Structure 1
Amino acid sequence: MSTSSPSLRLLLTSLVWPVYLPGLLTATAQTAILVLLPLYVLELGYSPSIAALMLATRGIGQLAGDIPAGIVAGRWGDKICLMLGAAAYVVGYGLMTLTDVPLLLGLGGVIAGMGMSFSLIGRQSYVTTRAPVHQRGRAISLMAGAMRVGSLLGPALGGLAAVKFGYQATFLVLVLLCLLSLLIVFLSADRGEPEADRTPHSFIAIIQVLTDHRQAFLSAGLAMISLQFMRAGRVVLLPLAGNAIGLSVAEIGLVVAAAALMDSLMFIPAGIIMDRWGRKAAAAPSLLLFACGLAALGWADSYLSLLLSALLIGFANGVSAGLVMVLGSDFAPATGRARFMGVWKLVSDSGQAAAPLAISALLTAGSLLLCSQLIAATGLIGLYVMASRMNETLIKKTGP
């Protein structure tokens, strides 16, 4: 990431403590939970369906938290939103530490999922108010990159800790990570100014946001739903494709890790592309290559072909690092900014929440090949909508 501009260096430095480091810590915790929680439920003697349900609780919490997070960020400021997000992680994972009852474990997952919404919207709003448009892509892609690094660390470190110390002791370590994140935010984040907008936050207000900004939601919004749909789909399809061709768990793990590494290497170029050539310059190759990678995934019949498909998917996902948040920031109005971001995140998260359900239905009715091709087709539809309807939001800097 180029830092030739002193203002860019100062901007990124100012975001390290309140945004990037807490993002790294909480991403490490939340991705560790994605691996550990279902395995813990299985170890307790419950069925795989109950274990899968535990994973769904995070998505439920995210959807439930998107609108309230926007309300809090707008009415009481970014710092309060960030602190509530970190506190919700602490409460959610703390509940998991104290219980072995699936209902309470699921409740912990919902609370932690809401914490994720508050943290992401708080960080997005925090960066948006401090980064000019021509630097926003790099600032937000670096935020996405910190989360990707955490996503690499979480499963590996969490798995090692669970083997050595047990699940609940590991959950306690994750609680401590989130407590550290809360402390860092408390000490380093600027208080910021709440928005002057006092429009009542109601269902009608949400509909009003969708109506007032329908061009953005019907163009960029639909494209980002398709991107999020493919992102969630690849998490489910990669292990299933490996299992279908007879790979071992270790081999599948290496494929997933290789894709994650490729993804993590691309967040710096993604920010540069968005700020230098525009948001559409990042969105178009991401959607196209993502669709190609998922289509190829369905035809993979060997370890090498699966690995190549996974690497292409990882590359495509990395090129769009931070894109959903950058577009949400770009389209957000000056008045009612945080409320718009909450609705934007709710809309984009719907694609992520729908993918596992759609894949389950498609696999029941058809084959893995058919499923992968249909999911890939959604990416091509998103590409068409983005290319034909979405306005470029990058405003080039004209002065020195």
Structure 2
Amino acid sequence: MIYGPTVLFAFGEGAVLPLLPVMAARLGADIAVAGLVASALVVGQLVGNIPAGWAVARFGERATMAAAGVVALAGVAGLLWAPNIGVLAASVLIVGFCAAAFGLARHSFMATRVPLVFRARALSLLGGTFRLGLFAGPFAAAALLLLFDDERAAVWFFGVCLIACVLLVLLGPDPEAQLAARSTATPPAGHSRYSRHADGGEDSGEPVTGSIPTQSRAGVFRTMWAHRDVLARLGLAAASVSAVRSARQLVLPLWGVSIGLDAATIALVVGISGAIDFALFYASGQVMDRFGRLWAALPAMTLMGLGFLALSATHDLADADVWFAVFAMVVSVGNGLSSGILLTLGADTAPPANPAPYLGSWRTLTDAGGAATPLLVSGVTAVWSISGAVALVGVIGLVGAVALTRFIPRFSPRRG
């Protein structure tokens, strides 16, 4: 019940994502417009975070997840029967908006209930469930295309995943109710005692369980103002992580095209790098829980920054294809080591009594970093070169590493 709905949502979304440009092209879009249609998903996530924070704080995680799944079905219907580009883009925007609400609801739940001593591992698993869906979804889409020769089959598959997700959320055991009941019992002998109460009071040593209390909750914008210092410093540093991650998804295929590789070779390199990325998601949580958040964030950002900088210098080399494969793997190792870091830092700094509005602001900042990167890469490539754009991404990664070193809170998870 914790991870299952997330896997279902991400699995269906991952099946549709690669086909959005194809669906736009069938409606008459050129390459530029097709790219804008696909980017509507990121825009929907960006604008949906703050309203999602309000909804979770007002109605609770379970209701928000169920509502997001139902509304996303309307977006799926639009994808299936869109008569023009405008309706298709609006449908993609709705799906992105619901993805934001769904992701924030689960993030808020985990931030409040998971004890600090294994918070990073739990949130890395949450990040891993998204990566699993986005990694496996395209393979499901490929199989459906082979069977039906129609990209709408993947959209139907997304709809089935959403229905299963909503049914699981509404009909399955409610984790909030189970943990609320458990919180009234006395912890067994030897039970770890290491976290604050969810109401933000004195540290009693009890693990955080139960529903978030509803009294004296601040609104979204009041919460943003109250935590403006953290959001302006650590939040912007975290946005650099999202920016470099987003650049990886865009830069690697573009680089392969720019050095003359065929589509199959590019797909193979990107696929292998994605497998490395997915394989490391739990290792990131282990490192953060055992040694601290910086021990995962700093190596991850340093590897990605240096990897992009080195790649930018190989464009005109005789063996550019080999260097492309090598540095794609280096960047993927760094990306894998960063799995869960944004979720964990958001949970670490969120107010325990009412995390959802804060997490809405946090996720808006981080998503903005990811949304701005494709525009930055495209603009620099147009006025300079692809090598210059990749080098700039590398610089952003190294600057982000310095900022994270400066602003990540220092504490020992073992001592709380």
TM-score normalised by L of structure 1:
0.90
Shift in Å at residue 200 of structure 1?
Answer: 6.2
**Which amino acid is 2:312 matched to?**
G
Select the residue among 47, 57, 78 that pairs with 1:64: 47
Alpha-carbon deviations, 1:44-102, whole Å to 9, x = none? 33211221111111111111210111111111111112212222332212221122421
Using the alignment, how far apart are the partners of 2:225 and 2:267 within structure 1?
A: 44
Instruction: Look up the match of 2:162.
Output: 178
Name structure 1 gaps, 5 residues minimum.
1-17
Where does structure 1 differ by over 4 angstroms across 4 or more consecutive aligned residues?
197-200
Instruction: Look up the match of 1:114.
Output: 97
Shift in Å at residue 397 of structure 1?
Answer: 4.1
Using the alignment, how far apart are the partners of 2:290 and 2:118 within structure 1?
A: 9
Select the residue among 204, 209, 212 that pairs with 2:226: 212
Are residues 307 and 74 of structure 1, via their aligned partners in 2, closer, same or farther at CA, if it must alter by over 3 Å? Answer: same
Using the alignment, how far apart are the partners of 2:111 and 2:367 within structure 1?
A: 20
Alpha-carbon deviations, 1:156-213, whole Å to 9, x = none? 2213313432122321121111111111111233355354255564xxx52x434422
Instruction: Look up the match of 2:153.
Output: 169
Are residues 64 and 195 of structure 1, via their aligned partners in 2, closer, same or farther at CA, if it must alter by over 3 Å? Answer: farther
Q: Does the alignment pair 1:289 with 2:296?
A: no
Q: Does the alignment pair 1:148 with 2:158?
A: no
**Which amino acid is 2:408 matched to?**
M
Using the alignment, how far apart are the partners of 1:327 and 1:284 within structure 2?
A: 13
Instruction: Look up the match of 1:255.
Output: 269
Instruction: Look up the match of 1:307.
Output: 325
Shift in Å at residue 32 of structure 1?
Answer: 2.1
* Matched pairs, number: 377
**Which amino acid is 1:75 matched to?**
R
Using the alignment, how far apart are the partners of 1:197 and 1:338 within structure 2?
A: 14
Q: Is the 8 A contact 2:245 2:370 kept in 1?
A: yes
Instruction: Look up the match of 1:240.
Output: 254
Using the alignment, how far apart are the partners of 1:43 and 1:251 within structure 2?
A: 26
| Percent of residue pairs identical | 28
Using the alignment, how far apart are the partners of 1:185 and 1:359 within structure 2?
A: 39
**Which amino acid is 1:221 matched to?**
G
Give the aligned CA root-mean-square deviation in angstroms: 1.8
Q: Is the 8 A contact 2:284 2:339 kept in 1?
A: yes
Shift in Å at residue 218 of structure 1?
Answer: 3.4
Instruction: Look up the match of 1:3.
Output: none
Name structure 2 gaps, 5 residues minimum.
178-210
Using the alignment, how far apart are the partners of 1:344 and 1:175 within structure 2?
A: 29
Alpha-carbon deviations, 1:302-330, whole Å to 9, x = none? 32211111111111111111110111111
Select the residue among 175, 179, 187 that pairs with 1:190: 175
Shift in Å at residue 393 of structure 1?
Answer: 5.1
For residues 1-400 of structure 1, what are the structure 2 equivalents within 5 Å? 18-165=1-148, 166-188=150-172, 189-191=174-176, 193=211, 195-197=213-215, 199=217, 201=219, 205-206=220-221, 208-301=222-315, 302-392=320-410, 394-397=412-415
Are residues 158 and 86 of structure 1, via their aligned partners in 2, closer, same or farther at CA, if it must alter by over 3 Å? Answer: same
More helix per residue: 1
Shift in Å at residue 135 of structure 1?
Answer: 0.9
